[in-house]
Amino acid sequence: MKDFKQIPVAEFTAHPFSLINRGWMLIAAGNREKFNAMTASWGGLGTLWNKPVAFVFIRPQRYTKEFVDANERFSLSFPPAQFRKAMSYIGTVSGRDENKIEKSGLTSAFDAAGTPYFEEAHTVLLCRKLYAQPMGEEFFLDGGKVVKSCYPLKDFHTLYVGEIEKVLSE
């Protein structure tokens, strides 16, 4: 088991564009008995309601959404580039159909509350859900450009905001 060190959330300094968009992340939720994860490159980090937060977006058809909805907490794991192939696999295969975590070669771990994350990550954010809101076509303000380019099936994401409770680092 990897020996992560916990760093104070206020001391977490990361460039969110590099970390999330270019580096990708694994969103995981569930418990020791059953969990799932997905690869994501849309999300953000910041301050909301006087709390450090992460926000992520999950489409309704993703199996991981069921686990995020059913659990109080989720994690965001950020593996380095050498795990890109495994992350791509996790992002293209459904956990409904097979044990994609095992087949990916990544190693799952769990915090004290039972929230899953990945040992290969250089950084892990452990989050407690604060807010969830399904997105709707009527709320896009750009004349339909985003809807046309990102939602041709009208399968709008749900936005989740989670308070970052712990940051684990190598």
pLDDT at 141: 96
Tokens of 64: 């991981």
Q: Answer whether residue 3 shows pLDDT above 70.
A: yes
pLDDT at 43: 96
Give the whole-angstrom CA distance, residue 144 versus residue 148. Answer: 6
Cα Rg of the chain (Å, integer): 16
Query: pLDDT tens digits for 27-63?
Result: 999 999 999 999 999 999 999 999 999 999 999 999 9
Q: Answer whether residue 77 shows pLDDT above 70.
A: yes
Q: Answer whether residue 156 shows pLDDT above 80.
A: yes
Distances from the Cα of 98 to the Cα of 58, 91, 103, 105, angstroms: 20, 13, 8, 13
Query: pLDDT tens digits for 120-149?
Result: 999 999 999 999 999 999 999 999 999 999
Grade residue 1 by pLDDT with cuts at 50, 70 and 90: low
Give the whole-angstrom CA distance, residue 92 versus residue 124. Answer: 22
Dihedrals φ, ψ of 68, to 5°?
-65, -45
Q: What is the mean pLDDT of the chain?
A: 96
**Amino acid letter, residue 167:** V
